[in-house]
């Protein structure tokens, strides 16, 4: 018997989280010793041999390896980026014939100005090469290597050869017509994205270099707003939506604006009330301002994005805010959505672009930077730093994706996470958890999954605060797990984040400053990145987590995400990855919209897909395989303005045995499903995780009622080999 559950207003109390980013694990920890020693000795030798072993007061040569860098510039006019990988950075000097200084900057620090020498243009350019892989040093000292170059694809020799070989035309070539560095990678774009104090993350630097050099080209389409047409019975015509406008190409539009010396104004998402609301007028006077009209020094990213940056505004989209905060946990995911080739200075033309996943493909959404304000302050999502604008612009691009800011009211964090990662999200009722939940979560963190949790909302109190510091109906992210030796034995701890980023935190055992931490050695606490700040992030035991939270969701990242991360960064995922298959389909009135199994006479007319599972899970001994089915309905948020919402959807899976064709009405009358969705719910996507023997299965996605029309996407994730086809 199929059951239906409808949600009014959408879920808005979920959140997604994730493990620590970076190449070597959580929280920006430095690489472990086994990853540091191999390359550093070679770099010391190479830098010392070519870059000069002693400090030169005139700065004609940068120091190498463990030796100090040259101080100052040549006659204080040209500062280089030199400085050793393990010593203080220096000016490095300016001598184009001495390529050794450039080699030294690659794996040493960025020179950080080298005394007074780094202020000039050419010195900054050479110093920028060091900032690609070395740290961006301070005013006088170099920053030191951020990543062991031997971990990158191709090894140290290829990195040196490629970077040095491309340095002349990418860093030293000047376009005489514009005065800009060719490739637009010099200046603050390479030193720090979008402003003098910006900090592009380690992975971001590598991604930016790979984008500029052409090594990485993402498969992305210009965004064209779909216009799905509702039918007269409340469904949606299940054909590809008709584009409302020709697509905008970010680079063409930016170049045109620069040539015409004007700021971009988006013709498809104008600075008007229609972009804000579809059902009413704004409740207050709204003024659309560009960031430069709000603050003196606008920047896209300041001091590095972090999960503590994003603050909710007046719009009811904490689900989007939580997803955006979680996105900052991993540079490799963040820079897929926020391309690092744009800023408020280099080639600024009032135009920005963001990339989102839409039903199996990535689209590039172009927006202008006019933002809704009241009394000079941003109305909606924004960053904690008042001169940082990546989150406000991201929200604007997401609003354009779905037609208006109002269209973003009511949703699930999983929906936004999927749009920003292309992953597959599962929901779990923690009152009825899987028996292996802890193991499943730990494996998920190893595979790069993102996690969120929540407590059921109080229908009479909006985001009610509890005595233990938690908030009902509020989205939290789970940002890490750790097993430690507590005062009473081993305990599994959960690191949880309130996206408000304030003092509203858990105050029970293992909370900030609680007595339980006294039994943990300082080195363990340091390794955990433990900080007792009023920042919204806290620890609690797994048992307390299960007692207090009621809902959890996991966003699983597919192999396409991992492959693209490898293309962008040269680093492959260390753990296991999912195997996936995807199918597109439609429920069409009187043809393929048969409704659920309650309607046995029409159920067999629904789309059917054969799924062959051949392998059991590699790390388990029970000969079962893990499989996740997900059915997603398309374009429904775009129809909100026309009064339509999601329809209740679900699926059933049958053991087909030796049957190779479609299953008949007689089969369904005689056989029960082997797996099925928990209910039919009017969410965008319904998922289910199962552990079953390998075999031949048929999955039947459907709406609850017959003749409800919609397009859908079926996704199948498993840990082993998979074959699937439409029947």
Residue numbers annotated as active site? 318, 474, 498
Helix, strand, coil percentages in the chain from 3-state DSSP, rounded to 5: 25, 20, 50
Q: Which two tokens stand for residue 702?
A: 């459907």
Q: What is the dihedral of CA 281, 286, 287, 291, to 10 degrees?
A: -120
3-state secondary structure 95-143: CCCCHHHHHHHHHCCCCCCCCCHHHCHHHHHHHHHHHHHECCCCCCCCC
Identify the bridge partners of residue 492 per DSSP, sorted by sequence position. Answer: 483
- Residue 4's Cβ-count burial label (10 Å; 0-12, 13-18, 19+) is middle
3-state secondary structure 2-31: CCEECCCCCCCCCCCCCCCCCCCCHHHCCC
CA dist 373 and 289 (Å) reads 7
Question: Which residue do the tokens 């700065």 mark?
Answer: 59
Q: Which two tokens stand for residue 25?
A: 């694990």
Output b/e per residue, 325-351; b: 16+ Cβ within 10 A. Answer: bbbbbbbbbbbbbbbbbbbbbbbbbbb
Concatenating the DSSP letter of every residue in 288-345 gives: EE-HHHH-SS-BS-SS---TT-EE--SSS-HHHHHHHHHHTT-HHHHHHHS-SS--SS
Question: DSSP 3-state assignment of 240?
Answer: coil
- Residue 575's Cβ-count burial label (10 Å; 0-12, 13-18, 19+) is exposed
Identify the bridge partners of residue 680 per DSSP, sorted by sequence position. Answer: 4
Q: Which segments within 450-561 are labelled E, that is strand?
A: 450-454, 476-486, 489-497, 537-541, 551-556
CA dist 598 and 704 (Å) reads 9
Cβ pair 460, 472 in contact under 8 A:
no
CA dist 146 and 203 (Å) reads 9
Query: Quick one: CA dihedral 502, 503, 504, 506, positive or negative?
Result: positive
Q: Which segments within 405-536 are labelled E, that is strand?
A: 424-429, 450-454, 476-486, 489-497
Question: DSSP 3-state assignment of 629?
Answer: strand
3-state secondary structure 569-611: HCCCCCCCCCEEEEEEEEECCCCCCCCCCCCHHHHCCCCCEEE
């Amino acid at each position: 018997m199929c059951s239906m559950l409808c949600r009014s207003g959408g879920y808005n109390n979920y959140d997604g989280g994730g493990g620590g980013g970076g190449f070597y694990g959580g929280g920006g920890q430095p690489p472990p010793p086994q990853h540091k020693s191999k390359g550093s000795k070679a770099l010391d030798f190479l830098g010392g041999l070519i870059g000069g072993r002693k400090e030169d007061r005139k700065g004609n040569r940068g120091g190498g390896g463990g030796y100090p860098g040259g101080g100052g510039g040549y006659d204080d006019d040209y500062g280089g980026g030199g400085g050793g990988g393990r010593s203080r950075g220096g000016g490095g000097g300016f001598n184009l014939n001495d390529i050794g200084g450039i080699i030294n900057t690659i794996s040493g620090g960025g020179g950080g100005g080298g005394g007074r020498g780094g202020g000039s243009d050419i010195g900054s350019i050479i110093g920028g090469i060091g900032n690609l892989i070395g740290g961006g040093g301070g005013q006088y000292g170099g920053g030191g290597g951020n990543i062991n170059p031997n971990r990158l694809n191709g090894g140290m020799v290829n990195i040196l050869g490629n970077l040095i070989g491309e340095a002349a035309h990418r860093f030293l070539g000047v376009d005489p017509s514009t005065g800009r560095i060719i490739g637009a990678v010099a200046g603050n774009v390479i030193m720090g994205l979008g402003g003098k104090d910006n900090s592009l993350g380690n992975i971001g630097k590598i991604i930016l270099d790979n984008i500029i050099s052409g090594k990485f080209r993402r498969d992305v389409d210009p965004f064209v707003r779909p216009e799905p047409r509702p039918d007269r019975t409340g469904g949606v015509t299940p054909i590809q939506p008709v584009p409302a406008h020709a697509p905008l190409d970010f680079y063409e539009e930016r170049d045109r604006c620069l040539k015409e010396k004007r700021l971009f104004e988006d013709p498809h998402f104008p600075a008007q009330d229609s972009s804000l609301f579809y059902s009413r007028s704004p409740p207050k006077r709204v003024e659309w301002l560009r960031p430069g009209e709000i603050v003196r020094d606008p920047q896209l990213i300041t001091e590095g994005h972090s999960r503590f940056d994003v603050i909710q505004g007046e719009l009811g989209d904490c689900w989007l805010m939580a997803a955006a905060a979680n996105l900052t946990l991993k540079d490799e995911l963040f820079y897929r959505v926020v391309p690092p080739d744009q800023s408020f200075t280099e080639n600024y033309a009032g135009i920005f672009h963001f990339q989102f996943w839409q039903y199996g493909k990535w689209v590039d959404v172009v927006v202008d930077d006019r933002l809704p304000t009241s009394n000079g302050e941003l109305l909606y999502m924004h960053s904690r730093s008042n001169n940082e604008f990546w989150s406000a612009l991201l929200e604007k691009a997401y609003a354009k994706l779905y037609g208006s800011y109002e269209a973003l009211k009511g949703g699930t964090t999983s929906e936004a996470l999927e749009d920003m990662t292309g992953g597959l999200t599962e929901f779990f009722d923690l009152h009825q958890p899987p028996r292996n939940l802890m193991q499943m979560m730990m494996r998920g963190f190893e595979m790069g999954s993102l996690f969120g949790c929540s407590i059921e909302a109080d229908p009479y109190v909006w985001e009610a605060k509890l005595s233990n510091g938690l908030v009902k109906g509020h989205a939290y992210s789970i940002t890490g797990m750790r097993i430690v030796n507590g005062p009473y034995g081993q305990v599994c701890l959960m690191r949880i984040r309130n996206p408000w980023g304030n003092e509203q935190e858990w105050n029970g055992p293992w909370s900030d400053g609680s007595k339980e931490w006294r039994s943990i050695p300082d080195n363990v606490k340091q390794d955990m990145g433990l900080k007792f700040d009023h920042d919204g992030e806290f620890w609690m035991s797994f048992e307390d987590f299960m007692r207090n939270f009621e809902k959890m969701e996991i966003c699983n990242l597919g192999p396409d995400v991992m492959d693209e991360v490898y293309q962008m960064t040269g680093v492959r995922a260390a753990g296991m990855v999912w195997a996936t298959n995807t199918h597109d389909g439609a429920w069409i009135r009187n043809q393929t919209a048969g409704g659920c199994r309650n309607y046995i006479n029409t159920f067999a007319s629904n789309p059917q897909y054969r799924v062959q599972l051949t392998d059991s899970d590699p790390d388990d001994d029970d000969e079962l395989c893990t499989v996740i089915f997900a059915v997603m309905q398309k374009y429904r948020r775009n129809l909100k303005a026309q009064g339509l919402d999601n329809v209740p959807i679900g699926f059933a899976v049958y053991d087909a045995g030796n049957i190779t064709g479609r299953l008949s009405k007689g089969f369904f009358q005689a056989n029960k499903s082997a797996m099925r969705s928990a209910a039919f719910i009017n969410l965008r996507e319904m998922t289910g995780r199962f552990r079953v023997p390998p075999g031949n299965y048929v999955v039947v996605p459907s709406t609850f009622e017959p003749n409800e029309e919609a397009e859908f996407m079926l996704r199948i994730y498993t840990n082993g080999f998979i074959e699937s086809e439409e029947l």
